[in-house]
Amino acid sequence: MIFKETATPTSKARQNWHLWKSSFGKKSLIGIPWLWMAIFFLLPFLFILKISLSEAALLQPPYLPFIREVEDGLVTLVLNFSNYMLIFEDPLYWKALLNSIEIAAIATLLTLMLGYPMAYAIAKAPAAWRLPLLMLIILPFWTSFLIRVYAWIGILKNNGLLNQALMGMGIIDQPLEILYTQAAVYIGLVYTYLPFMILPLYATLIRMDNTLLEAAADLGCPPWKQFLTVTLPLSMPGVIAGSMLVFIPVMGEFVIPDLLGGPNTLMIGKLMWTEFFNNKDWPVASALAAVLLLVLIIPFVLWQHFEQRQQAMEEKS
């Protein structure tokens, strides 16, 4: 009886209606977020490209349109590459770019050196401790980033807490100059980006098969060698993911070099900010953004490649 009923034309129509509805549901489920991100995330990069090719002007908005009347009635497309030429000719810009790469690379290395042992220690902690220990890593990330950077000003100042403590203990008799130097920038960067390094590292370390270590131990491998030949290579996906999560955003960092670094700390994100807000030169700021984007595509693709491989591995197991 029941089977017969499903074969009647009316229920067939209902089935079709359901099919249509579910495919419509599927389309909107995929389509709405896709369209949103395409319009508000992807499309804007085309505008960066567009403005970077236009000329700055004392207008509102402060640039000349592409297609405009050059002389009476003569409408032409004016592409202006001078913003890019300026970046490659003026040492200020390409030095800022090289400096950003250097600072981001060193900061990533320092974060890794502090983050790896911490992630390792949390992964090796008793199971009941792990969640609270991880929460303690994430907690500062939830509190205001700006205020955490600001806290370091009070610590690193010439008459700040660090110098007061060191002088009080008699270790130094002259205050160390740390604030407004490169060192302060590194401290700030490592401090704020540490969770981004620890979390992916922890995720790979906790998933690791401990029997491999036991096997190595059974074969007479000392602990340090176990670490170097088993743990470290197996945690490479975490090392790479963490490094990319730190390196890419640090390249464009603005707040930390601005508040903790001196006038000599030249980074491309800070320069973009200055060109945009102080010099009101939108086209040059856009050209800088375009160059920065171009530089960051390589590490981004690398990161995505490793993420996808890890996901595929997880789905297999």
Partner 1 sequence: MRRSLPLLTVLLFGYAFLYGPILSLIIYSFNESRLVTVWGGWSTKWYGELLQNEQILAAAWLSIKIAFISASLAVVLGVMASMALIKFKRFKGRTSLRLMLAAPLVMPEVIIGLSLLLLFVSMEEVFGWPEGRGQTTIILAHMTFATAYVTVVVTSRLAHFDFSLEEAAMDLGAKPIKVFFTITLPLIAPALLAGWLLAFTLSLDDLVVASFVSGPGATTLPMVVYSSVRLGVSPEINALATIIVLLVSVAVLIAGIVMFRQEKQRQRELN
- Minimum distance between the CB of residue 57 and partner 1, rounded to whole angstroms? 14
Among 11, 92, 145, 280, indicate the residue that binds partner 1 (CB under 8 A). Answer: 145
The answer to whether the beta carbons of residues 285 and 272 sit under 8 Å apart is yes
In a 13 Å sphere around the CA of 237, the CA atoms on its Cβ side amount to 19
254 sits near partner 1 (criterion: CB under 8 A): yes
- Within 172-191, the residues that bind partner 1 by CB under 8 A are 191
225 sits near partner 1 (criterion: CB under 8 A): no
- Minimum distance between the CB of residue 65 and partner 1, rounded to whole angstroms? 9
- Minimum distance between the CB of residue 140 and partner 1, rounded to whole angstroms? 5
- Within 275-294, the residues that bind partner 1 by CB under 8 A are 276-277, 282, 285-286, 289, 292-293
Q: Which is nearer to partner 1, 91 or 224 (CB)?
A: 224
Which is nearest to 226 in space by CA: 239, 236, 212, 240?
A: 212
155 sits near partner 1 (criterion: CB under 8 A): yes
137 sits near partner 1 (criterion: CB under 8 A): yes
- Within 294-313, the residues that bind partner 1 by CB under 8 A are 296, 300, 303-304, 307
194 sits near partner 1 (criterion: CB under 8 A): yes
- Within 73-132, the residues that bind partner 1 by CB under 8 A are 114, 117-118, 120-122, 124-125, 131-132
Please report the sign of the dihedral spanned by the C-alpha atoms of residue 91, residue 262, residue 191, residue 106.
Answer: positive
Pull the structure tokens for residue 208.
């690791």
- Within 21-50, the residues that bind partner 1 by CB under 8 A are 21-22, 25-26, 29-30, 32-34, 36-38, 40-45, 47-48, 50
160 sits near partner 1 (criterion: CB under 8 A): yes
Among 64, 82, 86, 148, indicate the residue that binds partner 1 (CB under 8 A). Answer: 148
- Minimum distance between the CB of residue 89 and partner 1, rounded to whole angstroms? 22
Measured torsion, CA atoms of residues 22, 25, 31, 34, in degrees rounded to the nearest 10? -110
Query: Residue holding tokens 């939830």?
Result: 142
222 sits near partner 1 (criterion: CB under 8 A): no
d(CA 106, CA 103): 5
